[in-house]
């Protein structure tokens, strides 16, 4: 074919960790990008990314890193988002498309508006629902997004071609791109991701502080391993998520604790029918809703 141009000429990835590194690898593997510039504060980590061939070069000055970039992907923890946006706001090339991979979208949008005055028309908020309990560029791999969903939450002011470019970029990684509103995204993720992490962390911490904790963990069966795997996730990342998505998270936690109290009361009073109704409904949902 004559015009097999790469989708992106110069791609700047700020924050080359598990997500940023895997995106870089997937796009390189597909020859969808000419040059990838890594950027961030931790030079040792950037050097590792360079050595691994994940990026082509790196910059530690963000203002320099975004020079002549066609696309800038911000893949730093939520707590570092504002500082990154503030550092690049005056240096972003005019037609450069800006996107992020933050797990909460309301907070990122707020950070962008605070840093830029208003959200640039070329800003396309995104969230790949992928990841492992590992972190760092050494855990990254090009197939991370394959068959995973990437949620874009474009704004009314988002430029159509910027939006289309980011959609293409993610589709190249093998992801299925879906779209929803910012607020709705944050509510759905609070329920399916943030609340389970809070529960897993709280449970493991409770058990870890019991007197016989060594024995407790020794007799933990297979179900416990799966159930608590997410408590091995990066504490800083999940701290940031909990605070960035505080309102929807607190709302669904309140619903959950109310429901849990209802179940506990049924156990206390030996209310067979209520216990069975809850367990059956949950099993049915777990077994079936998934497949819809």
Residues 171-230 that bind a second copy (CB under 8 A): 178, 184, 187-189, 191-193, 195-210, 212-230
User: How far apart are the C-alpha atoms of 32 and 38, rounded to whole Å?
Assistant: 16
Q: Is 114 in the site for a second copy (CB under 8 A)?
A: no
3-state secondary structure of 173: coil
Write out the binding residues for a second copy, residues 55-74 only, by CB under 8 A: none
What is the residue-wise DSSP string for 112-173? HHHHHSS--TTEE-EEE----S--SGGG--TTTTTT-EEEE---TT--HHHHHHHHHHHHHT
User: How far apart are the C-alpha atoms of 135 and 145, rounded to whole Å?
Assistant: 15
User: How far apart are the C-alpha atoms of 70 and 12, rounded to whole Å?
Assistant: 8
Q: Least distance (Å) from a second copy to the CB of residue 65?
A: 28
| Residue 177 β-bridge partners | 150
Annotate each residue in 120-159 with x if it binds a second copy (CB under 8 A) or - if it does not, as one string. ---------xxxxx--------------xx-x--------
Write out the binding residues for a second copy, residues 237-256 only, by CB under 8 A: 238-239, 242-243, 246, 249-250, 252-253, 255-256
- In the complex with a second copy, the residue whose CB is nearer, 1 or 214, is 214
Annotate each residue in 272-291 with x if it binds a second copy (CB under 8 A) or - if it does not, as one string. x--xx-xxxxxxxxxx-xx-
With CB under 8 A as the rule, give the number of residues binding a second copy.
93
For the chain, give the number of residues. Answer: 292
Q: Least distance (Å) from a second copy to the CB of residue 204?
A: 4
- In the complex with a second copy, the residue whose CB is nearer, 117 or 288, is 288
**Beta strand extents in the chain (DSSP E only):** 8-14, 33-39, 57-59, 71-74, 97-100, 123-124, 126-128, 149-152, 176-179
- In the complex with a second copy, the residue whose CB is nearer, 59 or 186, is 186
- In the complex with a second copy, the residue whose CB is nearer, 12 or 198, is 198
């Amino acid at each position: 074919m004559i015009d097999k141009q790469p989708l992106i000429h110069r791609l700047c990835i700020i924050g080359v960790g598990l997500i940023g590194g895997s995106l870089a690898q997937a796009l390189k593997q597909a020859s969808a990008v000419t040059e990838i510039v890594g950027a961030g504060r931790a030079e040792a980590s950037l050097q590792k990314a360079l050595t691994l061939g994940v990026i082509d070069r790196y910059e530690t000055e963000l203002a320099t890193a975004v020079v002549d970039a066609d696309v800038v992907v911000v893949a730093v923890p939520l707590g570092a988002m504002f500082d990154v946006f503030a550092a690049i706001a005056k240096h972003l090339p005019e037609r450069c498309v800006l996107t992020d991979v933050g797990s909460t979208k309301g907070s990122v949008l707020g950070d962008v508006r605070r840093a830029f005055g208003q959200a640039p028309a070329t800003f396309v908020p995104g969230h790949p629902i992928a990841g492992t309990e590992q972190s760092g560029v050494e855990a990254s791999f090009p197939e991370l997004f394959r068959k995973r969903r990437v949620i874009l939450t474009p704004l009314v002011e988002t430029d159509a071609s910027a939006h289309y470019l980011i959609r293409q970029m993610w589709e190249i990684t093998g992801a299925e791109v879906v779209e929803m509103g910012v607020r709705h995204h944050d509510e759905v993720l609070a329920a399916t991701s943030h609340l389970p992490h809070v529960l897993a962390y709280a449970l493991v911490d409770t058990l870890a502080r019991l007197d016989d904790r060594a024995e407790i963990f020794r007799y933990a069966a297979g179900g416990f391993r799966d159930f608590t795997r997410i408590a091995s996730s990066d504490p800083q990342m999940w701290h940031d998520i909990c605070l960035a998505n505080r309102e929807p998270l607190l709302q669904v936690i309140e619903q959950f604790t109310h429901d849990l109290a209802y179940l506990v009361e049924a156990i206390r009073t030996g209310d067979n029918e209520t216990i069975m109704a809850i367990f059956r409904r949950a099993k049915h949902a777990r077994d079936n809703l998934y497949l819809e």
